[in-house]
Amino acid sequence: MRALVTFGSSRGGTEGLAKMVADDLRDEGWEADMLPPRQVGELSDYDLVIVGGALYAFRWHRAARRFVRRHKTELRQHPTYFFSSGPLDDSARQKDIPPVKGVKKLMDQTGARGHVTFGGMLPPDAKGYPASVIARKSAGDWRDPERVRDWTASIAAEVQP
């Protein structure tokens, strides 16, 4: 069983989550390719596709949106799951945060089976506006490897050969 994990990430937080997902899948006995969208070719070799996107101003990262739009038809033929990464506080651990509107629409278009929101990460020295201003109050790392592991294990259990 082979999985693709791809992601849209500007500052590395979501890329790190994608790596956790890929590593956890390997621990579950899967082969897992973790690739940025531009390096992904055909999806036909994969039994599972997971797409993660950072949230910026209530929208999924552009690279994640583009990937899904480009592969919309193929994704309908694959078990597909999405994750978002964003909240710079404990909220993603406390409750289930539904997908933003644009992500929900992409889920409907691709028949994606599930979605989760994980906490985000913002370095204290984040560059650019408004990231540097947000970082003054909200810098930190709210990614939770245990939650990632639980989510990945539930997918591995759902997608049986």
Ligand X SMILES: Cc1cc2nc3c(=O)[nH]c(=O)nc-3n(C[C@H](O)[C@H](O)[C@H](O)COP(=O)(O)O)c2cc1C
Binding site for ligand X (CB under 6 A): 9-15, 54-58, 85-88, 120-122, 130-131, 134
Residue nearest to ligand X (CB): 86
Which conformational region is residue 133 in: left (phi greater than 0), alpha (psi within -120 to 50 degrees), or beta? alpha
Query: CB pairs under 8 A, 24+ apart, for 96-99?
Result: none
Shortest CB 117 distance to ligand X, Å: 7
Shortest CB 16 distance to ligand X, Å: 8
Going through the chain in order, the beta strands assigned E by DSSP cover: 2-8, 31-35, 48-56, 59-60, 80-85, 114-118, 121-122, 140-141
Antiparallel, parallel or unpaired: β 59-60 and 2-8: unpaired
Shortest CB 130 distance to ligand X, Å: 5
Q: How many residues does the chain have?
A: 161
Q: Which is nearer to ligand X, 126 or 156 (CB)?
A: 126
Q: Which is nearer to ligand X, 42 or 96 (CB)?
A: 96
Q: What gap in Å lies between CA 155 and CA 60, rounded to an integer?
A: 21
Shortest CB 133 distance to ligand X, Å: 9
Per the listing, tokens 């929900």 go with 104
Q: Which is nearer to ligand X, 53 or 79 (CB)?
A: 53
Q: Which is nearer to ligand X, 51 or 156 (CB)?
A: 51
